[in-house]
Amino acid sequence: MITPTGVPKGELNPIDIVVIDLSGRVVSGKNKPSGEMFTHLAVYNSRPDVKAVVHAHLPHVTALSVAGIKLDKAVLPETFVMMGNISTASYATPSSYEGAAAIKKVIKNSNAVILDRHGAMAFGSSLNEAYNRLEKLEHTAKVAALAKMMGRVKYLNRHQVKKLKELKGKLYGTKR
């Protein structure tokens, strides 16, 4: 299921949702699928563990991206445990096949990806999990932006990250 193109998310009704198959063919629904369908399909086709993808134009994430500031180093412990490394996909024209190619390079080891100048995507085993990851990513970006304004972003060191990876394995049984 995917949201339609051109319909404000706050005005969506269940009947507006479009059902597509893994090749992008519309199975049911009267609307045209979101132009971001290609990036969503790239995730589903590359990550069989993913059952939900959420994409949004998050203001703090996008601002950091525009400023060239990445979140690929661990900033907040809970974010790292929840999502693993957060990569930034190279710039791609929105609503194009370029976006799918750009994210395929970085989605293997993370549950969230920043789209250069275009917000972010988060993935999960459920819609709630994907949404919560996206929300946590925006929170982390806001904290990092505030820290940068105050002087610098202090990242977790290798020893701290190693302990968080162990904790993540115990909690979630995963390396992503």
Task: Give the pLDDT confidence score for residue 45 in this predicted structure.
Answer: 95
**Cβ partners under 8 Å of residue 128, min gap 6:** none
Instruction: Name the helix (H) or strand (E) containing 72.
Output: none
19 half-sphere exposure, CB direction, 13 A CA radius? 5
Q: Is the dihedral of CA 163, 169, 175, 176 positive or negative?
A: negative
* pLDDT at site 110: 84
Please tell me whether the overall predicted TM-score, pTM, comes out greater than 0.85 for this model. Answer: yes
Q: Which CATH superfamily is domain 56-91+108-172 in?
A: Class II aldolase/adducin N-terminal domain (3.40.225.10)
Q: Residue 172's pLDDT is what?
A: 79
Here the tokens at position 46 are: 């590359």
What is the rounded distance in angstroms from the CA atom of residue 2 to the CA atom of residue 112? 18
Is 78 annotated in the active site?
no
For the cut 80, the answer to whether the pLDDT of residue 176 exceeds it is no
Mean model confidence pLDDT for the chain: 93
Q: Which of 36, 135, 138, 166 is catalytic?
A: 36
User: Nearest CA to 71 among 132, 103, 116, 102?
Assistant: 116
Rounded (10°) CA dihedral 97, 61, 75, 67:
90
For residue 71, pLDDT beyond 70: yes
Domain boundaries, the chain: 56-91+108-172
What is the structure's pLDDT at 175?
58
What are the tens digits of pLDDT across the range 135-153?
A: 999 999 999 999 999 998 9
Per-residue exposure over 110-128, b if at least 16 CB sit within 10 Å of its own CB, e if not: bbbbbbbebbbbbbbeeee
What's residue 168's pLDDT? 87
Residue pLDDT, tens place only, 24-67: 999 999 999 999 999 999 999 999 999 999 999 999 999 999 99
Name the more confident of 18 and 152: 18
